[in-house]
Amino acid sequence: MEFTAKDVMKLREQTGAGMMDCKRALVDADGDFEKAADLLRERGIAKAAKRASKIAAEGIVYAYVENCTGVLVEINCESDFVAKGEKFHALAETVAKQIAKTAPATVEELLESDLGGETVNTFIQEQVGIIGEKISVRRFTAYKSQGLIETYIHMGGTMGVMLDFDCPETAATKELAHNVALHTAFSKPAYLTAAEVPAETLEKEKEILKQEVINEGKPEAIAEKIVLGKIKKFYEENCLLDQKFVKDDKVTIAQLIAQTAKEAGVPVALKRFVFYVMGQGLEKKSEDLSEEVAKQVQAMKK
């Protein structure tokens, strides 16, 4: 039985499933509309579509490293209960491995990529049907390194850090990378170096600092000099290489790297870094824990 684009649209409107999922269901059902709708429900896709309006502000940050490729990805769900579950972590691992394998440029490209005969999006929607919560890939970063990649995940996925070092992998450089990863999670720098700070950000900071100094009663001419000193402090607080090492505030991260390189007798440079705080900027709903557990138990009975 043949079907048209209108049939695909109609099935999409009825089930809330994606266009490609609807088209695939109609192909598998030989154009039979009702059978296609049943297939979508069986695959968990129609059920997943009903959760599209839910808030997915819980979840985890997950790290995966294979050979010289590192991935840091944030995947969200609706409750902390699900975020801590084995099925959700298995899903995160599958998605992270797919990112490492296919190197997508965007989340959209990732979702449309082939995962053994189905798209990543279809796989996720099937898991939504099983787990019973809205699941979404929020963001990811992938590094192809010529040196050493180090990752650190804090408290089961509340925060994640990934660093890309240009250096050989030795006991000394591994220890350095681990220490810098821990430092990054603690200090949360916004930039690697002062050169990365956007000019607009720097000018705005100078204006704010200058006004603060003037409000303290200092003349404008003197305020300019004081601001220069405060900008140095801004760099020390926001640029990773300029920050004081959290375990030894007598050295900066740049000095720590240089010191390790000298002692190990190998070149070492930190090329880039990224860190995610799970759910940062997302709206979260307030829900009693007992109510959350009851909902999960009920969902498992369906």
Tens digit of pLDDT for each residue in 45-99? 655 555 555 657 899 999 999 989 999 999 999 999 999 999 999 999 999 999 9
pLDDT at 45: 65
Joined tokens for residue 2: 């043949």
pLDDT, residue 287, reads 46
pLDDT at 297: 47
- CATH number 3.30.479.20 given to 58-190+275-301: yes
Which range among 71-80, 211-220, 248-257 shows the weakest confidence by mean pLDDT? Answer: 211-220
**What residues have CB less than 8 Å from 138, skipping those under 6 apart?**
59, 74, 75, 76, 107, 282
- pLDDT of residue 269 exceeding 90, the answer is yes
By mean pLDDT, which of 18-27, 136-145, 164-173, 241-250 is the weakest? 18-27
Q: Do domains 5-49 and 58-190+275-301 have the same CATH topology?
A: no
* pLDDT recorded at residue 6: 86
pLDDT digits (tens, 9 = 90+) for 102-123: 999 999 999 999 999 999 999 9
Average pLDDT over residues 167-196: 97
The whole-angstrom separation of Cα 299 and Cα 15 is: 19
Query: Could you report the per-residue pLDDT of 188-201, keeping only the tens digit for each?
Result: 999 999 999 999 99
CA distance 112 to 173: 38
- The 10s digit of each residue's pLDDT in 126-155 is 999 889 899 999 999 999 999 999 999 999
* Per-residue pLDDT at 291: 55
**Angstrom distance (rounded) from CA 120 to CA 104:** 12
Specify the pLDDT at position 71. Answer: 98
pLDDT at 57: 80
CATH classification (class only), 5-49: mainly alpha
The mean of the pLDDT values for the chain is 88
Q: What's residue 49's pLDDT?
A: 56
Q: For position 186, what pLDDT does the model report? A: 95
Integer Cα distance of 184 and 274 in angstroms: 9
Residue 165, phi then psi, degrees to nearest 5:
-100, 140
Q: Where are the chain's structural domains? A: 5-49, 58-190+275-301
Instruction: Indicate the pLDDT class of residue 294, thresholds 50, 70 and 90.
Output: low
Q: What is the mean pLDDT of residues 33-43?
A: 80
**How confident is the model at residue 289, as a pLDDT?**
44
Q: How many residues does the chain have?
A: 302
* pLDDT score recorded for residue 100: 98
Share of the chain above pLDDT 70, in %: 88
28-35 mean pLDDT: 90
